[in-house]
Amino acid sequence: MNVVAVVVAGGSRSAGAAVDVLRPVAGVPMLVRSVRAVLACGLVDHVMIDGGERTSALLHACAGLPVRAWQPRLAPQVVRAHSGQRADATSGDGAGAERFDGFVVAHDAARPLTPPALFGAVLEAVRHGHEVAVPVLPLADTVKTVDGDGLVRGTPERAGLRVVQTPHAFRAGAVHTGLLDVAGAHTAAGRPVHTVVGDPLAFAVRTPWDLQLAELLVEGA
């Protein structure tokens, strides 16, 4: 399908997380587990890491895995398959680069237990015509709106609310913002975002409690 996957690692405390993506889960860094999940789906031609200023350190942590650095200024371009991938490579190899008109899959590195099948589900959706596809789960808890004084002001109708996970899949032409912001920008522009059934294992590990749960799940497996 001509697919580029980008594992988004951000800063050491991205999205207010207390747990770094280099933190091990059962001895394996979350970032590495996320990259392995992408590779295991068997549908991706190139895997890249978007880690901002930390990209070099993140690539080093993935030594031995076929990953490269994501460089938005060169998007949407990839290296031809015969050029190979190196952990120390950068996006675009001069004459070896070609115009990319396929699909992009963006995955949050803080979701290390995401099943490979979830990548296939969102890619299948965009392959069949949807511009953007994201996995979602229904809310299990009651949600309240609370004002600045900490007072409950209302109860949104839970039936229409969903928890959004990653990976997100979209056509290359949709990349005009941060990779994990594409779905939100698409919605804000009044364009539809397709949903597929998410997976409880695709939860984000951002707190010590999340980390403990991930450890227990891996050990139990």
pLDDT tens digit sequence for 166-220:
999 998 887 778 899 999 999 999 999 999 999 999 999 999 999 999 999 999 8
CA dist 16 and 39 (Å) reads 27
Residue 34 confidence (pLDDT) above 90: yes
Domain boundaries, the chain: 3-133+163-220
CA angle 36, 41, 42 (to 5 degrees): 105
Q: Determine whether 109 is exposed, middle or buried from the number of CB atoms within 10 Å of its CB (0-12, 13-18, 19+).
A: buried
For 58-85, what is the mean pLDDT? 69
3-class secondary-structure state, position 135: strand
Do strands 77-79 and 97-99 pair parallel, antiparallel, or not at all (unpaired)?
A: antiparallel
What's the average model confidence in pLDDT over 6-22?
A: 76
Q: Domain 3-133+163-220 belongs to what topology?
A: Spore Coat Polysaccharide Biosynthesis Protein SpsA; Chain A (3.90.550)
Give the residue-averaged pLDDT of 85-97. 36
Least confident of 15-29, 95-109, 116-130: 95-109
Q: Say which range, 41-50, 139-148, 188-197, has the weakest mean pLDDT.
A: 139-148
Question: What per-residue confidence (pLDDT) applies to 16?
Answer: 57
Is residue 162 within 8 A of residue 134, CB to CB? The reply is no
Task: Please report, rounded to a whole number, the percentage of residues in the chain having pLDDT higher than 90.
Answer: 70
Specify the higher pLDDT residue, 10 or 88: 10
> What is the number of alpha carbons within 13 Å of residue 16 lying toward its C-beta?
0
Query: What was the pLDDT predicted at 1?
Result: 65
Side-chain-side CA neighbours of 218 within 13 Å: the count stands at: 18
Asked whether 176 and 188 are in contact (CB, 8 A), the reply is: no
Residue type at position 109: A
Q: Are strands 3-8 and 103-108 parallel, antiparallel or unpaired?
A: parallel
- How much is the pLDDT for 129? 92
Query: Above 60 in pLDDT, residue 59?
Result: yes
Asked whether the predicted pLDDT for residue 148 surpasses 60, the reply is yes
CB 21 within 8 A of CB 9: yes
Task: Report the distance separating Cα 6 and Cα 179, nearest Å.
Answer: 8
Residue 77, pLDDT score = 47
Q: What is the 3-state secondary structure (H, E, C) of 189-204?
A: CCCCCEEEECCHHHCC
User: What is the CA angle 118-119-125, rounded to 5?
Assistant: 90
Residues 117 and 52: their CA atoms lie apart, in Å, by 28
